[in-house]
A and B are shown apart, each in its own frame.
Chain A
Amino acid sequence: MKRLMFIFVVFLVFALNAAEPEKSVIQIFNFSQQPIWDAPWRFDSLRRSSGSGFVIKGKRIMSNAHVVSWAKQILVKRYQDPRLYTAKVVFVGHDCDLALLEVENDAFFQGLEPLEIGDLPKVRSTVVTYGYPAGGEQISYTRGVVSRIDLQTYVHIGNRSFLCVQTDAAINPGNSGGPVIQDGLVVGVAFQGMQGLENTGFFIPPPVIKHFLKDVEDGVYNGFPTAGIRISSLQNPAYREKLGLKNDGVGARVDSIMPIESTRKVMKEDDVLLQVGDYEVGSDATILYEGNRVHIAVAFQSFQNGEPVKIKILRDRKETTVDLPLYVYEDDKLTGNQYDVLPRYFIYGGLVFTPLSLDYMKTFGREWSEAVNAELVYELLYKKNEDPEKARKEPIVLASILPHTINANFSIKGRALVDSINGVKIQSLEDVIKAFGKPLGDFQMIKFLPHDAVECLNVKEAEKANDEILKTNGIQSDKRL
């Protein structure tokens, strides 16, 4: 009897959702303001954007992180209801581009049924996207076919790739965060398109959604862990033979290991991954995941931060099993897009110091990689991989110079990597502040890369000018740490 009831309840929910899932689809308005990364005390003008979301259990709305980023005020609106309700972000995963919102007024959820998260849809199956895309005020439905399931870069953060589903259902601005429904269940969250491809939209599939929801169960969002290894295919017969493998299409090679202590303890270069968790590893560095050949990274991404994964490896021609603990890797956060945390800065003598980051580089314009000096690109994107021991934890740039007589004759005009101050190598913004506290006699000496360019400030003059510079430029504080 109990079993029958369970089936009934499921059926009931299914029937309700299958009939009118649009009632649980929410329109979200975000009034946001982003910082200006090369003038980090300032904010860009207020923007109004809109996206979609849907109600899940626990009186929460699921949407994309990019729909609610940098929010000053979030308003939500129900299906065919003219009222606006205020909402707030309770959890956000900028890596996986998902967010959960809560609405302050409980009445918002009255009469709304939460949508259930389903399973990864099959390729060639039909899905319907629900949302509030641009081009009208009312809810929009688009039907499409699941075209491909693959690992894709999530463009919101820019430096992470996760499982992703491609569909030919139109996904347009405003659709973001809306549910993709199949048989009354959510099988995805619409989130991005790809320039140059027609009739192509992408949605975040259930394994990623469920990982996010499980992650926040303890009240903290940690993110997706990484294995900390660079894996390459192992298709060349000679290389396989050298490592003691048959030419049977099984096994991918650990090409290098990232500077992660826990990984370095367990893994070695030229280890061959034969099985990760439940998945046999193909020689092209893929696994067979629910009928889809996808990159092996997907096998690691099913684990939560701190969980170990059992890996069967071939090392020195012997099979062995190791437990590799997986942790969220944050040392590369400056190379991705950052959100909701205001940029750190320190101003001394009109010199504005801030961490070198992708967000800072993008202030140089769309073609930033051409406008910026190569030293900055190398330091940010290459040095950590090539020379992790010598790489700076947080490279600092002289972002700009606030004009004053004490710095008017500087040869360096900004956009320069800070090497040292008063002989102290600069590894973080805190180092900058500490180093200015120990001047060389009456002077502060700052060295920049490349070529060790040098500038000096007179300590007395700089400290006398500090307040005046801040006041003139309407800056409330000389630092944000």
Chain B
Amino acid sequence: MRLLRILIFTALATLCSTSFSATGIKKGGFDWEKAIITVEVSGVQYDFRQPWSRQPRQSMKSGVVIRQGEILTTAQGLDNCIMVRLQRLGESRWWEARVKWLDYYANLAILTAVDDKFFVGLKPAQLSAKAPDKENLHIVRWKGANLEARRVEFNQYVVDESELSSLNCVQMELESVPHQMNNPEILVSDGKVAGLTTSKVEGNTRAIPSIFARNILAEQQKGQWRGLGYFPFYWQPSQNPALHQFLNLKGDPRGVVVIETSQLKDQRDIIKPLDIILEVDGFGIDMMGNYKDPDFGRLLLENLAVRNKFAGDIVTFKIWRDSKEQIVKFKLPKFSYSEQIVPQQVFDKEPEYLIIGGLIFQPLTEPYLRSFGNDWRRIAPFKLVYLSSMNATAEMPSLVVLSAVLPDYFNIGYHDYRALVVDTVNNFTVRNLSDLSKALKSPIDGYHIIKFQKGDSIKSIVIDANAEADAMTRILKRYNIPSASKISSK
């Protein structure tokens, strides 16, 4: 009976595959067996609730040879990695590899094998320079020793936040993808790489189009990778004719209206609130903020900040201001996680923390908030979630929270305090753990006085600075914590 069930299951699995080959697969005349690579990543995963704690993590990805000695994959999963291994040609042998280049914002990485022999017999695939044939898209991947090709349905191109950051860029949206996928899987069309899958969003699969990757890789190959830029202002659609009339726009209704510009910093005079953006780099902007992309059709204007443009590049805006058209040149700032008070990601470094008298202090980061669970936006304290949508300012570039208390007689009365945003310690403003560490060197009359931002449940607490060291020795031992602090040198 068990055998029968296995047989039925196998038969179904085979039916679901549109193409299955034990010897190799040729799509569009290219032998994908020689280019698709299986990638195994081993790394460490940190528990932001107990930032000193870590556990091993392993994940599988696909990559594709794109140049001699270079394998393209996504950056996701490569953070905090300690070992990367590769498999080729459906063989069982693992080859040691290393990350040659990586950009988390673009979500792209290039791997290479430590031993050059790995590339013998492999053939680089080309990244498509144009939008792929929507009717002829396949995911090609290794399933054990066999290469599998599955046809996938193309839905649309969307401009949305990339998988690892809130940077907006063009993405492919796909249907009918295999249920179980290791991101990325390689999308192919007409014998070329069409894209790399990244995630599932509301039942559909997202992928980075190869044109986007191709432009970035071309820039990276020049040896001076500048990072991706972005438009640091908010705009709104302008379908309301009264708004056009109010702004005295002549001619056909068009363009979008700039609203908040608080992030512009030194370029605040270049783009102003109530400017109407009419064109960006020669592309006309419609009332919903779309332009007609030569490759992908109608896309949101945010994509023009990354469409073959990089941080530091100049973007030309045609705007309507003071009842006339004006041309302004805007220098793209580099996108960075530190643009927000609560950084969206913390990659490639151990979580920072500082414990004093059993009070655990951590930088307020999104990984910390995500430690509240998948539903963290609902479960985590509202104020912290609210802060996560705010941009960093000179006064508040980042924040520190009292994340929890390790109970001990020394900190009695404070055991239930958690998720409190620190304002000052010993009268010194605290915005990061270095500030905190410095402030703790100046106790006031033998006490550390910790004040939290207004509105939190408690405003201040006091601990005995003289007895703290003894208490810490006891607390670290009791809770098996290897070190009282981990503070980044940056």
Binding site for B on A (CB under 8 A): 230, 232-239, 241-242, 255-256, 269-270, 369-370, 374, 377-378, 381-382, 385-387, 406-407, 409-411, 440, 442-443, 445, 450-458, 461
Complex interface: chain B residues within 8 A of A369 (CB): 378, 382
Q: Assess whether B273 is interfacial by the CB under 8 Å rule.
A: yes
Chain B count of residues within 8 A CB distance of the other chain: 39
- Complex CA distance for A461 and B463, rounded to whole angstroms: 65
- Which of the residues A385, A443, A452 comes within 8 Å of B455, measured between beta carbons? A385
B257 touches A454 (CB 8 A): yes
Tell me whether B462 is interfacial, beta carbon within 8 Å.
Answer: yes
Q: Which residues of B contact A407 (CB under 8 A)?
A: 240
Instruction: Tell me if B221 is interfacial: C-beta within 8 Å of chain A.
Output: no
- Assuming the contacts A239-B461, A242-B447, A255-B460, asked whether A234 and B413 have C-beta atoms less than 8 A apart, the reply is yes
Chain B residues, Cβ within 8 Å of A456:
240, 242-243, 245-246
Q: Please state if B447 and A232 are interface contacts (CB–CB under 8 Å).
A: no
Can you pick out 11 interface pairs between chain A and chain B where the beta carbons lie within 8 Å of each other? A236-B412, A238-B462, A239-B463, A242-B447, A369-B382, A377-B386, A385-B455, A407-B240, A411-B237, A452-B259, A456-B246
A256/B459 contact (C-beta < 8 A), A370-B378, A452-B273 known: yes
Given A410-B240, A454-B274, CB of A382 within 8 Å of CB of B245: no
- Contact of A378 with B386 in the complex, beta carbons under 8 Å: yes
List the B residue with the shortest CB-CB distance to A450.
B260
Which chain B residue shows the least CB distance to A381?
B382
Instruction: Report whether B445 and A242 are in contact in the complex, using a CB–CB cutoff of 8 Å.
Output: yes
Answer whether residue B411 sits at the interface, using C-beta atoms and an 8 A cutoff. yes
Apart from A238-B447, A238-B462, A458-B242: 4 A-B pairs, beta carbons within 8 A: A239-B461, A242-B447, A242-B462, A411-B239
Give Cα A279 to B453, complex, Å.
31
B residues 402-421 touching A (CB-CB < 8 Å): 411-414
| Contact (Cβ within 8 A) B382 A382 | yes
| Separation of A436 and B236 alpha carbons in the complex (Å) | 23
Assess whether B464 is interfacial by the CB under 8 Å rule. Answer: yes
Q: Given A378-B386, A409-B240, A411-B236 in contact, is the A451-B260 Cβ separation under 8 Å? A: yes
Known A-B contacts A239-B461, A241-B464, A255-B458; A374 and B389 likewise in contact (beta carbons under 8 Å):
yes
Distance from B485 Cβ to chain A, minimum over Cβ atoms (Å): 21
- When distances are taken between beta carbons in the complex, the residues of chain A under 8 Å from B243 are 454-456
- Verify B461–A236 contact, CB threshold 8 A: yes
Q: Encode contact with A along B379-414: 1 for CB under 8 Å, 0 otherwise.
A: 000110110010000000000000000000001111
B241 within 8 A of A: yes
| Residue in chain A with minimal CB distance to B261 | A452
B54 interface residue per 8 A CB criterion: no
In the bound complex, do residue B458 and residue A386 qualify as a contact, i.e. CB atoms below 8 Å apart?
no
Contact with A along B217-256 (1 / 0, CB 8 A): 0000000000000000010111111110110000000000
Chain A residues with CB below 8 A from B273, complex form:
452
| Residues of chain A contacted by B474 (CB below 8 angstroms) | none
Indicate if B454 sits at the interface (CB-CB under 8 A).
Answer: yes
In whole angstroms, what is the CA distance A386 to B454 when docked?
5
Contacts of A270 in B (CB 8 A): 460
- By beta carbon, the residue of chain A nearest B233 is A451
Partner of A458, one of B237, B245, B413, B447: B245
* 8 Å CB contact of A232 from B238, B383, B385, B458: B458
CB pair B411–A236 under 8 Å, yes or no, is: yes
With a cutoff of 8 Å between Cβ atoms, the chain B residues found around residue A242 in the complex are 445, 447, 462
Given known A236-B414, A239-B413, contact A443–B461 (CB-CB < 8 A) = no
* Contacting residues, chain B, for A453 (C-beta < 8 A): 236, 259
In the complex, the 8 A-B pairs of residues with the closest C-beta atoms, listed nearest first: A235-B413, A386-B455, A238-B464, A236-B413, A409-B239, A239-B462, A456-B242, A451-B260
Assuming the A-B contacts A382-B455, A385-B455, A454-B257, are A406 and B411 also in contact, with contact meaning beta carbons closer than 8 angstroms in the complex? no
